[in-house]
């Protein structure tokens, strides 16, 4: 366990009634990063988050947050004291008013930030006296975000923070998040299956598929390393075998051979020259393509 990793997960496994929700997950999230936790529905994102917060117990393996074990009652309480959380359902107490909900939450967190509370109350336009059950989903999301951001937390764990919101509201929530993170020293771990929003705010990404981590790293490194190399030949593209590391996929289609590499283009291009293509084009790959490629490879 390294102190610079706020989240450190090793060989985590979780079974629900014989179904493996998480299968040997290994993941580290460095301090100060904004880590997007990407995966399809049912990939194991929410289960992983619940284990981190002590809401579910791992079948095997271990998870640490701030170097504290998540499966011990006392350390789990300490983890939650230092963590802001927004759940997927944004479910709060319907019988409370907005004001009561804020006062209720503030009472649990000694480092509650009244300055941020006032700022977000204003900027989110939260109606103080309205009962939560009468709020729209968008307003409830904003309130849930306020309750997480004002805890004076060192870590924010957000489970699908923008699910169910329209694009304008999504943008508003993401902007609030980005500007908050810019002004505070904290780590953000947020799950999503919305690739554009991960692309927009994350500096790291971890892709989970069927309970396993299939890709993890700094987003800039992934963008730098993933390349699509398109080779065009005079006649039909040859059946080629590349020895360069990082070749994720090859597609032959008529005169074209497309290679997707996760370790830069140089090695593949050098090998491809020997095949005498009439053109070689190297293009960057979007996060969406990386995600789809990684996930489909595992299927």
Partner 1 sequence: MLWYKCWMETRWRFLIGLGLLMLAAAATVLAYPQIVKLLGLAPQIDLGGEIGRRVQEQVALAREYRGYVWSQWFRVSMLQMWVVFAVLLGTGGLLSQVSGGGTLFTLSLPATRNRLLGIRAATGLGELLVLTFVPSLLLPLFSPAVGQSYSVSDVLIHSACLFVAGSVFFSLAFLLSTIFSDVWRPIILALCVGALLALVESLVPDLSRYGLFRVISAESYFRGGALPWLGILSSAAVSVALLYSATRNIARQDF
Q: Is the dihedral of CA 17, 20, 21, 26 positive or negative?
A: positive
DSSP three-state, residue 216:
strand
Is the CB of 84 or the CB of 277 nearer to partner 1? Answer: 84
- Among 1-9, 51-59, 170-178, 259-267, which window interacts with partner 1 (CB under 8 A)? 51-59
161 binds partner 1 (CB under 8 A): no
249 binds partner 1 (CB under 8 A): no
Burial class for 267, CB neighbours closer than 10 Å (0-12, 13-18, 19+) = middle
**In Å, what is the CA distance from 197 to each residue of 12, 190, 203, 287?**
27, 10, 11, 11
Nearest approach, Cβ of residue 44 and partner 1 (Å): 14
* List 2, 67, 108, 220, residue binding partner 1 (CB under 8 A): 108
* List 12, 38, 56, 98, residue binding partner 1 (CB under 8 A): 56
Q: Are 206 and 192 in contact (CB under 8 A)?
A: no
* List 27, 29, 63, 144, residue binding partner 1 (CB under 8 A): 144
Q: Which residue has the tokens 């771990």?
A: 189
The 57-96 contact track toward partner 1, x by CB under 8 A, reads x---------------x---xx-xx-x-x-x-x-xxxxxx
DSSP three-state, residue 102:
helix
- Among 104-112, 227-235, 261-269, 284-292, which window interacts with partner 1 (CB under 8 A)? 104-112
**In Å, what is the CA distance from 101 to each residue of 77, 156, 203?**
20, 19, 32
Is the CB of 105 or the CB of 192 nearer to partner 1? Answer: 105
The 188-227 contact track toward partner 1, x by CB under 8 A, reads ----------------------------------------
Name the residue among 76, 123, 136, 133 with its Cα closest to residue 101: 133
Is the CB of 153 or the CB of 173 nearer to partner 1? Answer: 153
C-alpha–C-alpha distance, residues 215 and 201, integer Å: 18
**In Å, what is the CA distance from 66 to each residue of 1, 31, 78, 213?**
10, 9, 9, 21
* List 50, 64, 227, 228, residue binding partner 1 (CB under 8 A): 50
C-alpha–C-alpha distance, residues 30 and 208, integer Å: 17
Residues making contact with partner 1 (CB under 8 A): 16, 50, 53-57, 73, 77-78, 80-81, 83, 85, 87, 89, 91-96, 100, 103-105, 107-109, 144, 147
């Amino acid at each position: 366990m390294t102190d610079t990793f706020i989240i450190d997960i090793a060989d985590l496994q979780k079974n629900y009634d014989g179904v493996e929700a998480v299968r040997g997950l290994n993941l580290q999230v460095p301090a100060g990063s904004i880590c997007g936790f990407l995966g399809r529905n049912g990939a194991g994102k929410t289960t992983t988050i619940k284990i981190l917060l002590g809401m579910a117990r791992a079948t095997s393996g271990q998870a640490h947050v701030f170097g504290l074990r998540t499966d011990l009652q006392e350390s789990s309480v300490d983890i939650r004291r230092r963590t802001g959380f927004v759940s997927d359902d944004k479910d709060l107490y319907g019988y409370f008013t907005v004001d009561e909900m804020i006062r209720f939450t503030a009472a649990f967190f000694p480092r509650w930030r009244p300055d941020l509370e006032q700022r977000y109350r204003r900027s989110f336009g939260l109606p103080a006296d309205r009962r939560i059950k009468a709020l729209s989903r968008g307003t409830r999301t904003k309130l849930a975000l306020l309750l997480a951001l004002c805890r004076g937390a060192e870590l924010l764990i957000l489970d699908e923070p923008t699910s169910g919101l329209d694009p304008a509201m999504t943008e508003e929530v993401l902007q609030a998040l980005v500007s908050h993170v810019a002004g505070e020293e904290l780590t953000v771990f947020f799950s999503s299956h919305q690739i554009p929003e991960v692309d927009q705010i994350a500096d790291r990404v971890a892709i989970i598929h069927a309970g396993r981590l299939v890709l993890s790293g700094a987003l800039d490194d992934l963008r730098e390393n993933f390349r699509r190399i398109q080779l065009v030949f005079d006649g039909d593209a040859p059946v080629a075998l590349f020895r360069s590391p990082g070749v994720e996929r090859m597609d032959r289609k008529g005169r074209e051979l497309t290679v997707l590499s996760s370790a830069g283009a140089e090695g593949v291009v050098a090998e491809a020259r020997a095949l005498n293509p009439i053109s070689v084009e190297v293009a960057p790959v979007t996060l969406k393509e990386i995600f789809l490629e990684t996930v489909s490879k595992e299927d």
